[in-house]
Structure 1
């Protein structure tokens, strides 16, 4: 299995934004906090913006916010926003995949792996991924 750097960076950036949705963050701040290459993150955030997962505002008071509440953004939304498909085989979707002879059942296995991954990613929201409790909230406010 392969998780793309784009999907990983996108999820990390969105989780950073979800920690304090009341204030915007710049790409520079997110990149620094998550140790993500700035230029790559800028491209990823552009894709997230086009997908409606983040919104932006220019200027000295600007930056990025979540486009929807953290409880309404699943990891599946994130992966699809930056990668399109959850799992591909040599860059192609699994839908029409078929093999002859003894390998004939293999495409069904790959499709089941994709279905299971899709179900898991769809069930996990950004809100569910954030640390909970007073200590975590204090750590987030101390970091601000």
Structure 2
């Protein structure tokens, strides 16, 4: 899986909005997180369509969380801006078809998606904003091999 720039920016924007605790302007989010403003506006529109943020118009307008940050997972955000967590040439793993000799690949893709879910669905925007990740997620990074780029 490759985390897109769009997903990374969306998560950073939601951390900033959550940490701000009130309505915050897109300009402030963009400046604080070093996100191109035009790209951020597009991302915020996707997040609004998913019901994760809401906009407020007016002089003191901006963006705020529309959902409780403790109920919004990393998986929710990725799905809102990029679609499924894992796809195989644009198809969900359970819908991929192979001939008999390659059929085992479908099991690998489903297992990989399950592994991603075990992290992305347990880490919430609230935990990211507070810097306090679930113990089982942190435990996955203790092994030195986890940090190796191979």
Please list every run of 5 or more consecutive structure 2 residues that lacks an aligned counterpart in the other structure: 133-150
Aligned residues: 132
Structure 2 length normalisation: TM-score?
0.82
CA distance in 1, matches of 2:59, 2:4: 32
Give the direction of change, closer, same or farther, for the CA distance of 1:19–1:89 in structure 2 (3 Å limit): same
Residue 130 of structure 1 is matched in structure 2 by 129
- 3-state SS of paired residue (2:55): strand
Residue 16 of structure 1 is matched in structure 2 by 16
Write out the 4+ residue segments of structure 1 that deviate beyond 4 Å after TM superposition: none
Please list every run of 5 or more consecutive structure 1 residues that lacks an aligned counterpart in the other structure: 134-144
- 3-state SS of paired residue (1:113): helix
Residue 90 of structure 1 is matched in structure 2 by 89
Answer yes or no: is 1:64 the counterpart of 2:63. Answer: yes
Write the deviation string for residues 94-124 of structure 1: whole angstroms up to 9, x where unpaired. Answer: 1211222432211110111011112211111
Structure 1 length normalisation: TM-score?
0.85
